[in-house]
């Protein structure tokens, strides 16, 4: 899935996220680039991010960081059959951005890699980048959480 990014963050949340929770309300969250609630989260992107190409994989063990330029991991509970959705600031639910993650408690590991050449790169603002983002869904307790 290809997601345009606004305000250098994207959200992983249910179709109807709670409206009272405010992402990055704490200064430490903004510094870490990670704001987590039990059923939804916001992940900060590297600076000057225009878009992310996002894929999801399932694993029993955490993968190596490899050449990731940024990586975070956090616990997340999926409590609906609808799965979760990837959105950016102000974006409405879009079925094309649905993550098929089963109900239950998981650890999500999010890694940012330099993207392969993008055919729309000439349309990007100067100095903006596109990232390949891999979200690895792991069993709860499979790894430590936080900024990696």
pLDDT on residue 55: 94
Residues near 22 by Cβ (< 8 Å), separated by ≥ 6?
none
H or E element in which residue 31 lies: helix 27-32
Mean pLDDT of 120-131: 75
pLDDT on residue 93: 62
Q: What share of the chain is helix, strand, coil (3-state, %, to 5)?
A: 10, 45, 45
Q: Which of 44-48, 83-87, 106-110, 116-120 has the highest mean pLDDT?
A: 106-110
Mean pLDDT of 135-147: 96
Domain ranges in the chain? 2-147
**CATH for 2-147 (2.60.34.30, 3.40.50.300, 2.160.10.10, 1.10.3720.10):** 2.60.34.30
Take residue 111 and report the two structure tokens written for it: 């890694």
Nearest to 21 by CA among 29, 93, 6, 101: 29
Mean pLDDT of 8-29: 89
Q: How many CA atoms lie within 13 A of 126 on its CB side?
A: 0
Q: 54-111 pLDDT, tens per residue?
A: 999 999 999 999 999 999 999 999 998 888 999 888 776 666 788 989 999 999 999 9
Average pLDDT, the chain: 89
Q: Given pLDDT bands bounded at 50, 70 and 90, which one contains residue 117? A: low
Q: Reply yes or no on whether the pLDDT at 119 is more than 60.
A: no
Query: pTM for the full model?
Result: 0.90
């Amino acid at each position: 899935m290809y997601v345009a990014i606004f305000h250098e963050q994207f959200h992983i949340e249910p179709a109807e996220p709670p409206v009272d929770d405010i992402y990055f309300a704490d200064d430490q969250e903004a510094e870490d680039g990670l704001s987590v609630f039990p059923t939804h989260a916001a992940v900060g992107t590297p600076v000057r991010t225009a878009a992310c190409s996002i894929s999801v994989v399932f694993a029993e063990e955490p993968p190596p960081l490899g050449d990731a330029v940024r990586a975070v991991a956090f616990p997340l509970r999926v409590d609906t059959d609808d799965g979760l959705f990837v959105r950016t600031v102000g974006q409405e639910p879009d079925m094309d951005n649905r993550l098929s993650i089963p109900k239950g408690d998981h650890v999500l590991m999010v890694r940012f890699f330099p993207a392969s050449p993008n055919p729309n790169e000439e349309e990007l603002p100067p100095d903006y980048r596109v990232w390949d983002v891999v979200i690895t869904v792991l069993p709860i307790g499979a790894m430590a959480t936080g900024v990696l």
